[in-house]
Amino acid sequence: MSPVLQGLITIFVGVFGCVGYFYASNVVLDRVIFPARGPKAGSNINKANKVRPWLFLFPAIFALGLYLVYPVVGSFIRSLYDRSGNNFIWFGNYTDLMAEAEFRQSVFNNFLWILFVPAMATFLGLLVAQLTDRLRWGNIAKSLIFMPMAISFVGASLIWKFVYANNPDVGIINALRDSFGLSPIDVVQIPFWNNFFLMLILVWIQTGFAMVILSAALRGIPEETIEAAIIDGANPFQVFFSIKIPQIMGTIVVVWTTITILVLKVFDIVYTMTGGNFGTQILPSYMMTYMFRDDGRATAVAFVIMIIVLPVMIWNIMQARKEMR
Amino acid sequence: MDNIAGKKSGLSWAVNITVVLLVLLWLLPTVGLLVSSFRDRDQISNSGWWTAPLAVELNFRARFSSEGEVLQGDTYVMEGNVFDDPENAARFPDGSGTLSAYGTRGVAPAEFAPGVTAEQRGGGSLLVEENGSFRAESPESFGRRGQTIYFQAMTPPQFTTANYTTVMQSDGMDRAFINTLTVTIPATVIPILIAAFAAYALAWMEFPGRALLIAAVVGLLVVPLQLALVPLLKLHTQLGIGQSFVGIWLAHTGFGLPLAIYLLRNYMVGLPRDIIESAKVDGATDFQIFTKIILPLSFPALASFAIFQFLWTWNDLLVAKVFLPSGAASQVMTVKIADDLLGSRGGDWGILATAAFISIAVPLVVFFTMQRYLVRGLLAGSVK
């Protein structure tokens, strides 16, 4: 069967299956189990309305539970077993990992990514948002800077491979060096600094995201406060740093955390650019070196990522609960 | 007081210039890729894409068989024009060019300046002029090997779609393209439906544990999907779906749901309460309210998430690597590029650029046509 046909059938089955489930389950509830007729019509309606939310929620809860909750537990348990999956070795995988230089390197690099990428993307996003705020062609500028959001990490890596290429006739960085008479360098092989060259790719992708949200936040600042500050003689920099920034601090933090989460999940860039060589390994790509070979180690690495995300998760939930009240 | 709001500040110029520079910086890499994808591999490795609109100096080889030789006295003479060689015809469409240097050996293709006579191995001489006409003399017949001339000439800028043909036809990118679509479309449609119902329940239905569920969804937004890979792949294998399209559809559905529910709920909560309550008073059931009122009203948010999920599944590498078999029959484009082309075609910049451009073309089109919705959805989810 051709993949196109297979795809079409699945769309059909999936979509109509979903609609069918929701429709049929509601009909069954209202007509068969708790019919809104007869002497108990009133109480039946109430009962049906108590059950209905769960009908609506069931597929979502099921999928979330299976694909996100179960794996947290499942991965942790699996990480306590050895390569074969039969021998329980407590935290053996974790202690072994600690002893590995490459693992320590990955953790270190991962922290570099967490520190650099969200900060840089938020800063640049804020800069662009502020600069384009009053510009007549601001919207065009914004869509062009937002564009990399649509590009896959693999595509972006390839694009930047061209920028970084060793050959001065291909890579624009080495072309610039060449015009100053410097010999070409392979930037992804410079120890330590190559990490930052890889991070720049993610910054390039994420700046647009930060910009869109921060520029909406900037628009949301009441005009009066800004005008009052200007009448009091504040210069544009004072207006920006003392009036605008404090008012959008909440949004800045949201953007920052969102990008942090993304950084913790990203694996494609390192995988395509260096394959984790030259000291650029990060945890998600390090995990892939064990994937399909040693499930115990792979899940242990995944769980370490989970532990690093945990503070962000708790902060997120706390924020959400604050907003609900 | 020239910086009162509404008046142009003195910084206006600086702002304009900075934004222009930033935009150029952001565009430059992608433009480079686009230009490179239309150049052939010789041009790419001999001149930067930023010089693509200009003429480029390249090395060529022209061969002339001994058919054209003429015996004059006791020397064999061959005359002709290097630009006539059919192998180079594509480069010099009108059969003429300007030669900047020539040579008789492949290792030194630019040994002699035009108009300077070169001594040939085994006696004889060769003279090539700037306009490409040459005269070769030899005491013996040129024999079977004929005369080979290496030369360097400016070639006019040239663009070709040959890379696209190569990538689509011989590199199996067409198959990968279809596979990507097969993964993407169901993986976009199914989670939206499921999430929309769940979001409605979380936004407008009263039931115990609702707050807890919302908190759980927010928490699950953060769970790294790396955790899911090993246990779920094992589960899929036990269920018999193993590494397959069905498996990856389910996986993308599961991974996309938290963001979908979160975005859609935030949007639905903002819908006017009056409409929903008056519908209830009129006797509409929740199912009717949802399908007849909420869904149409939520179109912007649905579109926004659809774009997100589409971009995410189209661009995904990790989930495809783990949940799809590694053979060519089910490779998606990202895997194809990362695992196949980068390995085997690592130095072929033209092919790489083209493959990358094919893989980002669809998302870019979707992005630029639907950008308004994407931004609106982002704002519904992130800014209060």
Query: What pLDDT digit, counting tens, does each position of A32-74 carry?
Result: 888 777 777 778 878 888 888 888 899 999 999 999 999 999 9
Nearest-neighbour CA in chain A from B205: distance (Å) = 6
The pLDDT > 70 percentage for chain A reads: 97
Write down the domain spans for chain B. 56-158, 164-381
Token duo for residue B240: 């018999």
**B218 and A CB contact within 8 Å:** yes
Among B46, B48, B382, whose Cβ lies nearest the Cβ of A172?
B48
**A265 and B CB contact within 8 Å:** yes
CB pairs under 8 A between A and B: 343
Q: What is the pLDDT of residues B301-325, one digit of tens each?
A: 898 889 989 999 999 999 998 898 8
Evaluate whether A33 touches A15 at the Cβ level (below 8 Å): no
The answer regarding whether domain A95-324 maps to CATH 1.10.3720.10 reads: yes
Bridge partner residues of B59 (DSSP)? B152
The residue among B19, B50, B57 with the most chain A CBs within 10 A of its CB, best to mutate, is B19
**A243 and B CB contact within 8 Å:** no
| Residues 6+ away with beta carbon under 8 Å from B32 | A159, A162, A163, A172, B49, B50
**A279 and B CB contact within 8 Å:** no
Cα–Cα dist B131/B81, whole Å: 8
- The predicted model scores a pTM of 0.83
pLDDT the model gives residue A325? 65
pLDDT the model gives residue B384? 43
Lowest mean pLDDT among A5-19, A129-143, B23-37, B328-342: A5-19
Contact B363 A150 (CB under 8 A): yes
Among A60, A145, A159, whose Cβ lies nearest the Cβ of B22?
A145
Among B181, B368, B383, whose Cβ lies nearest the Cβ of A216?
B383
Specify the higher pLDDT residue, B381 or A251: A251
Cα–Cα dist B198/A22, whole Å: 11
**B77 and A CB contact within 8 Å:** no
B10 chain-A contacts, CB cut-off 8 A: none
The residue among B38, B193, B223, B226 with the most chain A CBs within 10 A of its CB, best to mutate, is B226
- For residue A175, what is the nearest residue in chain B, using CA coordinates? B48
Among A9-18, A224-233, B47-56, B100-109, which range has the highest average pLDDT?
A224-233
Write down the domain spans for chain A. 3-80, 95-324
| Residues 6+ away with beta carbon under 8 Å from A274 | A188, A194, A198, A280
B383 pLDDT tier (thresholds 50, 70, 90) = very low
Strand B70-72 with B125-128, pairing: unpaired
A301 chain-B contacts, CB cut-off 8 A: 226
Q: Over 70: is that where the pLDDT of B381 sits?
A: no
Question: In this structure, how many other beta carbons lie within 10 angstroms of the beta carbon of residue B165?
Answer: 11
Contact B382 A78 (CB under 8 A): no
A2 pLDDT tier (thresholds 50, 70, 90) = low
Among A30, A230, A261, whose Cβ lies nearest the Cβ of B222?
A261
Contact B185 A56 (CB under 8 A): no
**A197 and B CB contact within 8 Å:** no
Q: What CATH architecture applies to the domain B164-381?
A: Orthogonal Bundle (1.10)
A129 chain-B contacts, CB cut-off 8 A: none
Nearest-neighbour CA in chain B from A10: distance (Å) = 7
- For residue B218, what is the nearest residue in chain A, using CA coordinates? A317
